[in-house]
């Protein structure tokens, strides 16, 4: 039996009606059949650097190296038999693509991924190695998404949005279900934001299991579409200039914003250089290989003057690009006081 046998498709409900805690629990039943619970550890050196007790949730140890595989498994479990047969298409800079490719291969669902020019070569190679068809099209994620939508219409594939997908948000919410069950006394959780699916999932779980805990989104100041939409209450499109591939999202998503707008406590913008510094800090102080997006939550915590422990960050991925790997030794040599000065 594959995971596609375990969840009812969402087509009979509006997207927002699908997002509740009971749906998170049902999704976790499907996801946990495929993926093991990931560890969450605290590191004395990192705590000393931040001045608060931090729990690091390690999604970098997932089979694809990132938390998004949970969304891929959940999405495949929610497809109808006809959608499974026709296959799916999406656009991604890497981790979302790998998640669908991995889950699609497991469930025998054909997957096509449109990636923008300049997408990390190692992530693109991983998507191909997992058996997905890769189409390189567009200078930005917005252009790649438009091409994916055109392919969906032309070839009859199910279009999968990186953000406006209830199953993916619910899959990502299972990260925080595990976190809050194991660590019920958290004062704050810092969640990196690209499309906002992870932070939205965090809010869904927090609202039931830990209503006193603050959820704080963290986004690159060079790709602030979700932050702008959250601040204004209106959809936002902003040209992405960030070097952090996992945060290179140029438009907000209505579904995730519907949750973030009512439940996210705060939203912090951080500098790309500070994110690179945090990649180094996690390596030296927490024995953790993080990609830029996976380190962004640490930067947000360090930039928050109101931070109180115990708190948590999620290392959402460990698929570091070559420049991020090269920057670890450089950032360590410069020192954390400069690299994390937000």
Give the domain ranges of the chain.
22-66+166-339, 69-159
- Supply the pLDDT for residue 248: 86
Architecture per CATH, 22-66+166-339: 3-Layer(aba) Sandwich (3.40)
Segment 88-95 mean pLDDT: 90
**pLDDT tens digits, one per residue of 297-324:** 999 999 999 999 899 999 999 988 888 8
Segment 55-68 mean pLDDT: 97
The answer to whether the 22-66+166-339 and 69-159 domains have the same CATH topology is yes
Lowest mean pLDDT among 13-17, 66-70, 97-101: 13-17
- Supply the pLDDT for residue 306: 92
Architecture per CATH, 69-159: 3-Layer(aba) Sandwich (3.40)
- Supply the pLDDT for residue 158: 97
Q: What is the pTM of this model?
A: 0.90
Count the Cβ atoms, other than its own, within 10 Å of residue 282. 24
* pLDDT mean across residues, the chain: 91
Whose tokens are 């959940």? That residue is: 74
**48: which residues sit within 8 A by CB, 6+ positions away?**
none
**pLDDT tens digits, one per residue of 212-262:** 999 999 999 999 999 999 999 999 999 999 999 889 888 999 999 999 999
**How does strand 54-58 pair with strand 40-42?**
antiparallel
């Amino acid at each position: 039996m594959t995971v596609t046998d375990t969840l009812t498709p969402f087509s009979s409900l509006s997207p927002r009606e699908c997002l509740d805690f009971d749906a998170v629990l049902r999704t976790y039943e499907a996801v946990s059949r495929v993926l093991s619970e990931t560890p969450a550890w605290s590191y004395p050196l990192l705590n000393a650097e931040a001045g608060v007790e931090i729990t690091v949730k390690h999604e970098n140890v997932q089979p694809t190296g990132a938390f998004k595989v949970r969304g891929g498994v959940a999405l495949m479990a929610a497809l109808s038999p006809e959608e499974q047969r026709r296959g799916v298409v999406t656009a991604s800079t890497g981790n979302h693509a790998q998640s669908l490719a991995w889950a699609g291969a497991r469930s025998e669902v054909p997957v096509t991924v449109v990636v923008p020019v300049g997408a990390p070569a190692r992530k693109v190679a991983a998507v191909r190695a997992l058996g997905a068809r890769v189409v390189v099209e567009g200078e930005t994620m917005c252009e790649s998404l438009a091409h994916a939508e055109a392919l969906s219409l032309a070839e009859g594939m199910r279009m999968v949005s990186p953000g406006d997908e209830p199953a993916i948000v619910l899959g990502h919410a299972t990260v925080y279900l595990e976190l809050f069950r194991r660590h019920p006394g958290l004062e704050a959780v810092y969640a990196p934001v690209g499309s906002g699916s992870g932070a939205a999932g965090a809010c869904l779980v927090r609202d039931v299991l830990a209503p006193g805990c603050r959820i704080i989104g963290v986004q690159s100041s060079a790709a602030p579409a979700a932050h702008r939409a959250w601040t204004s209450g209106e959809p936002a499109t902003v040209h992405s200039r960030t070097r952090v591939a996992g945060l290179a999202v140029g438009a907000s998503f209505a579904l995730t914003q519907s949750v973030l707008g009512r439940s996210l406590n705060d939203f912090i913008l951080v500098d790309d250089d500070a994110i690179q510094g945090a990649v180094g800090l996690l390596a030296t102080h927490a024995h953790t290989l993080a990609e830029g997006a996976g380190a962004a939550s640490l930067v947000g915590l360090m930039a928050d003057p109101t931070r109180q422990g115990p708190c948590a960050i999620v290392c959402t991925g460990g698929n570091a690009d070559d420049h991020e790997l090269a920057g670890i030794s450089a950032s360590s040599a410069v020192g954390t006081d400069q690299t994390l000065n937000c």
